[in-house]
Amino acid sequence: MRTESLSLFISVVEHGSFSAVAKILELPRANVSRRIAELEQELGVTLFNRTTRHLSLTPLGQLYYNDVTVAMNALTQAQSNLTQATQAPSGRVKWGLPPTADIRTTQLVADFQALYPDIDVEMFVTSDSYSNFFRLGLDVAIHAGELTPSDLVVHKIAESSNRIVASPEFIESHGRPLDLNSLQALPCVCIRWPQGVLEDVWVTQNGQVKVRPTLATNSLELLLKIVLQGRAIGFLPELLALPHIQQGELIDVLPAYVSTPMDAYLVYPKRDGLPLANQLFIDFLKTELPKQL
């Protein structure tokens, strides 16, 4: 079966008559009608109900049209991707990042653009990339935490526990806590989540404690800065804290007390029909992002 026949069938459906398609293609109407009849004979079904004034799909014709349009779109996209692959890939990708994104993400973009210099990347910081993915016009995003039903593809890239951390200056001024209960006497900074809940109960796998939040914020980025400044102890995700622990800027003050791990995901639309630039960036992140995190 030739793709030209399928394209002709789709055109007849979309324009509503043999005559309209014949005029567009500059063919005799009889030729269009004959080729559709040959397609019906090849398939062994009647695709159209024909009257002198009206042309409409049969139930089987509608079913065939639905499937053929999907197949033809996929073929068109495959041909486009192949054409682009023989040239330098180009385009723009919008990447949704959490407010706590750090220098590692910019390095990833630099590494990607070293491979594909004609692909532009917009880094869009937002705290609701998952729930508002399409409204924000994102092509791919990082999401951590709970997942709700969605049409997005979800790919796990890392998991992260929260750790109780403080700066060396804070420990020097206030002393190092020996257990969870010791935290009740120390200034702590807590996150207030978008739902309004203040996380002043720090739950770990070996116990929990209600702390006294002398500072609170709805931004993990600000929370990290407050802890780095030595103003309070914080309960921070490893993804944020570990680089600063490794550099000696933070201390894991109670390493035996960590939270249950939370998963982090790369989310993106289903790949059918995605531009080549998006596919290349998604594949790159799936490989390289876990190494960074």
User: Could you give all domains of the chain from N- to C-terminal order, each with its CATH number?
Assistant: 3-85 (1.10.10.10), 91-158+263-292 (3.40.190.10), 162-260 (3.40.190.10)
Q: Please report the pLDDT score of residue 101 as a whole number.
A: 74
Amino acid letter for position 52:
T
Supply the DSSP string of 29-58, one letter for each residue: HHHHHHHHHHHHHHHTS--EEE-SS-EEE-
Q: Please report the pLDDT score of residue 209 as a whole number.
A: 96
Q: Please report the pLDDT score of residue 195 as a whole number.
A: 74
Q: Which of 240, 293, 231, 264 has the alpha carbon at shortest distance from 99?
A: 240
Contacts of 259 (CB under 8 A, 6+ apart): 161, 162, 163, 202, 203, 204, 205, 235
List the chain residues with pLDDT less than 50: none
Residue whose tokens read 């570990």: 242
Cα–Cα distance measured from residue 160 to residue 169, given in angstroms and rounded to the nearest whole number:
26
Cα–Cα distance measured from residue 212 to residue 225, given in angstroms and rounded to the nearest whole number:
18
pTM for the full predicted model? 0.58
Q: Please report the pLDDT score of residue 85 as a whole number.
A: 60
Name 143's bridge partners: 265
Q: Please report the pLDDT score of residue 144 as a whole number.
A: 81
Q: Please report the pLDDT score of residue 150 as a whole number.
A: 84
273 within 8 A of 132, measured Cβ to Cβ? no
Q: Please report the pLDDT score of residue 147 as a whole number.
A: 82
Q: Please report the pLDDT score of residue 127 as a whole number.
A: 76
